[in-house]
């Protein structure tokens, strides 16, 4: 049973790390970005509201995020196995709301992993990112470092790859700015709680995996 948070700028490779962490530690992977994208594709009210913000690279307002997340943590899989939070918390007030929630349940975060990658590298990765359109798969490719065998097709499941609406230069630059302003302060917040470990993102995926394993 582990309760984990993964922090890092958008495009730092958090999502790829989450894939193996969720398997190895048998914890549900809870990505607020994925939850919003699912709502958008299903055309829900929440999805419609969230999309306006996401397409601009802005954060979805806290009141739309916090209840959504805490009610997800109340589900039995999280209660029994712990969780891996990806994309939440993203602001100090979300972190505080999460702390209050955890305290009210008498539980704590075991580890916060901060993946550290510089902005220039993130921009290059985001513009080269392709995502599998199959919601059961969601494999991530990179046209520069890790292209699919057949262009535009997922190696794993054969579904078409797509470029996320928010993976364009303007939106990425905006997301990075928002990250530095709103999310970076969480590093200090969790450092002070004594649960933070920073891992430098490596060029090779496997090297980052090894460092994250050590840190958990």
Catalytic residue list: 14, 90, 129, 164, 175
CA 197 to CA 7: how far, in whole Å? 10
Binding partner of residue 138 among ligand ADP, Zn ion, none, CB cut-off 5 to 8 Å per kind: none
Closest distance to Zn ion from the beta carbon of 153 (Å): 9
CA 181 to CA 184: how far, in whole Å? 6
- Under rule CB under 6 A, how many of the chain's residues touch ligand ADP? 18
By CB under 6 A, tell whether 15 contacts ligand ADP.
yes
Let me know if 31 is exposed, middle or buried by CB neighbors in 10 A (0-12, 13-18, 19+): buried
Q: Treating both helix axes as pointing N-terminal to C-terminal, what angle do 32-41 and 62-73 enclose, rounded to 10 degrees?
A: 100
Give the residue with the Cβ less far from ligand ADP, 94 or 208.
94
By CB under 6 A, tell whether 13 contacts ligand ADP.
no
Binding partner of residue 134 among ligand ADP, Zn ion, none, CB cut-off 5 to 8 Å per kind: Zn ion
Give the residue with the Cβ less far from ligand ADP, 57 or 82.
57
Instruction: Give which of 135, 165, 139 is closest to 152, Cα–Cα.
Output: 139
Binding partner of residue 141 among ligand ADP, Zn ion, none, CB cut-off 5 to 8 Å per kind: none
Region from 24-32, 98-106, 121-129, 136-144 binding Zn ion, contact rule CB under 5 A: 136-144
Binding partner of residue 32 among ligand ADP, Zn ion, none, CB cut-off 5 to 8 Å per kind: ligand ADP
Given 134, 146, 168, 202, the residue binding Zn ion (CB under 5 A) = 134
Closest distance to ligand ADP from the beta carbon of 99 (Å): 15
By CB under 5 A, tell whether 156 contacts Zn ion.
yes
**Contact code string over 57-96 relative to ligand ADP, x by CB under 6 A:** xxxx----x---------------------xx-x---x--
Residues of this chain that bind Zn ion (CB under 5 A): 132, 134, 137, 139, 154, 156-157, 159
């Amino acid at each position: 049973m582990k309760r984990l948070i993964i922090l890092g700028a958008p495009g730092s490779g958090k999502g790829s790390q989450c894939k193996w962490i969720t398997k190895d530690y048998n914890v549900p992977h809870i990505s607020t970005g994925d939850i919003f994208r699912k709502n958008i594709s299903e055309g829900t009210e929440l999805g419609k509201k969230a999309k306006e913000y996401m397409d601009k690279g802005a954060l979805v307002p806290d009141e739309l995020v916090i209840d959504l997340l805490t009610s997800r943590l109340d589900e039995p899989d999280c209660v029994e196995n712990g969780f891996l939070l990806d994309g939440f918390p993203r602001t100090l007030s979300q972190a505080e709301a999460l702390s209050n929630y955890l305290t009210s349940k008498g539980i704590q975060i075991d580890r916060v992993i901060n993946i550290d990658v510089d902005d220039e590298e993130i921009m290059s990765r985001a513009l080269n990112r392709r995502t599998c359109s199959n919601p059961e798969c969601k494999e991530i490719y990179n046209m520069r470092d890790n292209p699919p065998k057949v262009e535009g097709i997922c190696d794993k499941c054969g579904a078409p790859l797509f470029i996320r609406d928010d993976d364009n230069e303007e939106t990425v630059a905006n997301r990075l700015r928002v990250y530095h302003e709103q999310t970076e302060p969480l590093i200090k917040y969790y450092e002070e709680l004594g649960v933070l470990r920073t891992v430098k993102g490596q060029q090779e995926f496997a090297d980052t995996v090894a460092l994250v394993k050590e840190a958990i």
